Structure 1
Amino acid sequence: LDICGVDVVCEGVHRPLEETGGGIVEVNAAPGLRMHLAPSYGKPRAVGEAIIDLMYAPGDNGRIPVAAVAGTNGKTTTVRLIAHMLHQHGLRIGMTTTDGVYVNGQMIDDGDCSGPKSARNVLLHPDVDAAVFETARGGILREGLGFDHCDVAVVTNIGAGDHLGLNYINLRHNGATVIADYGHNPDAMVALAEAVERIATGKRVVVISGAGDRRDEDIRRQTEILGGTFDEVILYQDACQRGRADGEVIGLLRQGLVGASRVRHVEAIDGEFIAIDRGLERLATGDLCLVLIDQVQEALAHLKARCSG
């Protein structure tokens, strides 16, 4: 504890308490400053300035190093790489990504945390020496950035580029291969389709939803691409529609499958986990299922509980 408030009852502070019969009433770890800045009686004291002078050396502005990562694909992976490098230098890292907020390796919030509110939460955290932020375009358009300056800015790509995903999470289910990824745009679909073409030997199943804040043509394009690679398509609706009407995104995904060269079966399921289970049910030994997840941590936990290896 560097700063505390000490409440004293005594005749005066010019002599030791033992001599005046005074005593300490309370030691407060979070003292208020108003009574010192604007006392009802006596001279105001600039205690706030004294506290800041104690906490920061002359010339120190209290800022920490900040890195921000934007782009179409690979943001989360790049954030993790930068955070790892900073951690190797002994710094305590605060990190925001589309799967959560992390401080010193511990998740303090889950879900899509790539917006300005999550960045501000990291900057306000007392145990952070350096911050690395995934900065998605949606949050920038809605509220701007959660910081006024960054030391390093990374733009991974715009529109085209390799999709790095969630480290290619591979599972096994009754002799079939299950791949979980967070692909959410046409470029990611191209990369994933190419990977599936290389490794699949049996039937191919994909479980997919679409982000509502994308353009109609981008949502349709995702299933247009996958329609030439997969035999069966299980559609589901994201937990957050991001401004879309109920069922609108699934309708656009269906439009993208019109005329698909390979698809033999399409169905829409209400609920991500139920859709995942439906995809797994349709697998036999040697088949492959690609699951494009929405609720990252929850979906991965559900998959790992259902799959072995």
Structure 2
Amino acid sequence: STDGIVVDGRMIKRGDMSGPKSARMILQNPTVDTAVFEVARGGILREGLGYDRNDVAVVTNVSGDHLGLGGIDTLRQLADVKGVLVEAVPRTGTAVLNADDPNVARMGASCDGAVIYFTMQTEKGEPGFDRVDGHCGRGGAAFVLRHTPEGDQIVLRHGPRTMPLLYTHLIPATFGGKARMNVANALAAAAAGWASGAHLHDIRQGLRTFTTSFFQAPGRLNLVEVGGVRVVIDYCHNVDGMRALADFVNRMMSDNGTRDGRAIGVIGVPGDRRDDDMRDYGALAATAFDEIIVREDRNPRGRAPAETAAHVLAGIRGARAGGARTTRADTILDEMTAVKAALRRANPGDLLVMCVDDAIGVYKETMAAAGHGLGTTAFADPGELEAPEG
């Protein structure tokens, strides 16, 4: 993945390992029975997949992130790149595709194997629901949501049959169903597990026991309590990510029907994104956060200092002029300085969300603020995440 290579719970190499060389490294390891790869757009463009076929391919979405890089300027072109995964599925394999994204759904036509759809849409007339309805009417399979008096339920539809799996609020990674992006991820994960031959009760147990703790998913909605302040650490770095994060923040802040406390955001976007994307990122953040600190990544990716932050800040100011929530926006370019300032600013009852570049450094700073000496407990020290490369 982009975090590193992990074999049997042990990180053997840290860094961005989402390319074909890393895939070959895993496949040459005789102790590995099942491999799960995060496949990056850049690696496909440079060298391909790094292997001949995948038994299961999962494509969750095609978003505008990375447009303008590597000769890819449109969503259709980016979808064609990601579609290579589906084209590598053999007749005995399966593609798991998001029925709500038309650029993803159409990849099913290029799949030699079976197709399992997943959808968040629940009403007839919605494109994803209708696509799944037709697919299952032809004997296909899909993982869907079903509204019930007890809450949303993940259900497997297979032809005319339906098999309930789990209520979304019982999945820790969804924060009681508030993290809608992780509800979608749970649908995709359940479909991938079922396509791999896992029983539904094993899939159910996996979803119920996986959390977004720093150790299971570093930089993915890691929640830490610091003196009555809820602190969330997340890698959110693009427009679609911020759209999902803003929805999550608004749901977290309206737990009992009223908005209590402030939502404070520390945000930043990589320098190789388009100017318009940076401004859109800032504008979306302004719809969720009461106060924002804009930072920059350590690697500016070709930008002058403060240039990226200026574009994000312009988006925030434009949204504020249109009535967005944010009342205060500051620029602190250094990430750790921004994190310390946000931790000092937050009061009990506030929600502090930090969109990070250096997840480990921010986590350590947060734990220090919580009064944990680094390295004194297993929770306070990332441990294997600091293993030397190789």
Structure-2-length-normalised TM-score: 0.49
CA drift at 1:191: 2.0
Distance 1:302 1:273 in 2: 8
Matched, 1:275 2:338: yes
CA drift at 1:225: 0.7
CA displacement, residues 14-38 of structure 1 (integer Å, 9 cap, x when unaligned): xxxxxxxxxxxxxxxxxxxxxxxxx
RMSD: 2.5
Q: Which aligned pairs between 1:57-68 and structure 2 lie closer than 5 A?
A: none
Q: Percent identity?
A: 42
Which residue number corresponds to residue 220 of structure 1? 279
More helix by share: 2
Structure-1-length-normalised TM-score: 0.61
Alignment CA distance shift 1:245-1:145 (3 Å): farther
CA drift at 1:227: 0.8
One-letter amino acid of the counterpart of residue 197, structure 1: N
Alignment CA distance shift 1:140-1:226 (3 Å): same
CA drift at 1:194: 1.8
Alignment CA distance shift 1:274-1:217 (3 Å): same
DSSP-derived class of the 2:329 partner: strand
Distance 1:281 1:243 in 2: 32
Distance 2:291 2:353 in 1: 11
Choose which of 193, 203, 212 in structure 1 pairs with 2:262. 203
CA drift at 1:154: 1.1
Matched, 1:110 2:14: yes
5+ residue gaps, structure 1, are 1-96
Which residue number corresponds to residue 266 of structure 1? 329
Distance 1:118 1:251 in 2: 36
Report how many residues are paired. 213
Distance 1:274 1:143 in 2: 38
Choose which of 368, 386, 389 in structure 2 pairs with 1:305. 368
DSSP-derived class of the 1:149 partner: coil
Distance 1:282 1:136 in 2: 37
CA displacement, residues 175-226 of structure 1 (integer Å, 9 cap, x when unaligned): 1111111222222222221222222211221011102333322222111011
Q: Structure 1 runs of 4+ off > 6 angstroms?
A: none
CA displacement, residues 81-116 of structure 1 (integer Å, 9 cap, x when unaligned): xxxxxxxxxxxxxxxx22221011101222333223
CA contact (8 A) 1:235 1:267 kept: yes
One-letter amino acid of the counterpart of residue 203, structure 1: R
DSSP-derived class of the 1:303 partner: helix
CA contact (8 A) 2:269 2:278 kept: yes
CA contact (8 A) 1:163 1:187 kept: no
CA drift at 1:157: 1.6
Distance 1:116 1:240 in 2: 23
Alignment CA distance shift 1:225-1:137 (3 Å): same
Distance 1:208 1:132 in 2: 30
DSSP-derived class of the 2:57 partner: strand
Greater RCO (CA < 8 Å, at least 6 residues apart): 1
Which has the higher mean CA deviation after the structures are superposed, 141-150 or 280-289? Answer: 141-150
CA contact (8 A) 2:340 2:365 kept: no
Alignment CA distance shift 1:267-1:241 (3 Å): same
